[in-house]
Amino acid sequence: MGALNLRRVEIVDKCPLCGIDGETVDHLILRCPFTEVVWSLTGKGGGRDSFVNFVSWFQARTQVDSLGDLQVVCWTIWSIWKVRNDVVWNQSAPLPSSASRLAMDMYKAWCDRFQAGQTEELTHTGTTDIVQQSPRNIYCWFDAALFPQEGTAGFGCYILLADGSFGTAFNGPIQSTQDPAMAEIMACKEVLSWLKNNGFREVLLFSDCLNLVTSLQEGNEASYRSYFGASVDDCLSLMAFFDVITLSFVRRECNSKAHSLARRAGTQFREWDSPHSFA
């Protein structure tokens, strides 16, 4: 905003929701009087006064909030930004209650769509019965993690054999990205490549990234001119190698081992053939 004003582009640097302070992400989410009321109505996202910036506050929320509370926090942030855009582009005059109601409605709709035990599967060939009965299939959970301070990213994978015993686990770095969607699709590519190179032909994959699962379900419809779309195509090409493969969406708590592995990923690929401290 300041840079634009220096170039004599006259823009009023005021928060569109309260009209008091300059508009920044930190102000909009943490300190705006309008959004203070929104947070109060949702009953989540506490501790904002204790943090200087949005990133530090949100990282703290991820450490102390339950999954359900964190989902409400995320939907509230989304609704605040949507209301802000409506004010800027449509000259609307929303009430804080409308923003909080939108956040809770979206959260409820999400929960109704993905109740415990519900999964969305992507099956390339074969049938569910074959997957369930085959002694050759393996169960594979994977996840990605971002490390903003280092500007790096990593992935982790945890595998069980058909009888439920520990198979293997591995983690490692992925190409530097700070985009969560790109990190997840790149983690998927790493895992699929490892499975292919190690001769597995019947695989049940599990991810807690709904965007990833949905994009692969849409297949070629998700292949638009972008790095993400090209990576979707790469994953679909790798999946075509397997005799039977499914990709299912699971909740974060069901993916804790892969998440832990991803968070511990370093600069080198590592592999374990026996249960480690994360198991």
Q: How far apart are CA 154 and CA 180, in angstroms?
A: 11
Query: Can you give the CATH number for the domain in which 140 is found?
Result: 3.30.420.10
278 located within any domain: no
- At which of 113, 135, 156 does a domain end? 113
279 located within any domain: no
102 and 140 in a single domain? The answer is no
As for how many domains the chain has, the answer is 2
130 and 103 in a single domain? The answer is no
Long-range contact list for 80-86, CB < 8 A, 24+ apart?
A: 80/28, 80/29, 80/35, 80/38, 81/28, 83/17, 84/16, 84/17, 84/28
- Predicted confidence (pLDDT) at residue 119 exceeds the cutoff of 70: no
The residue with tokens 């994959």 is: 205
- At which of 85, 113, 141 does a domain end? 113
263 and 128 in a single domain? The answer is yes
219 and 100 in a single domain? The answer is no
pTM beyond cutoff 0.75: no
Give the tens place of pLDDT for each residue, 129-157: 334 445 568 999 999 999 888 889 999 99
Residue type present at position 98: S
102 and 195 in a single domain? The answer is no
Q: Note down the domain range covering 63.
A: 2-113
In this prediction, what percent of the chain has a pLDDT beyond 70? 82
Are residues 141 and 251 in contact, defined by beta-carbon separation less than 8 angstroms?
no
* CA 182 to chain CA centroid, nearest Å: 10
75 and 46 in a single domain? The answer is yes
126 and 263 in a single domain? The answer is yes
178 and 80 in a single domain? The answer is no
Among 53, 47, 97, 45, smallest CA distance to 75 is for 45
- Of residues 8 and 54, more confidently modeled: 54
Q: How far apart are CA 106 and CA 182, in angstroms?
A: 24
277 located within any domain: no
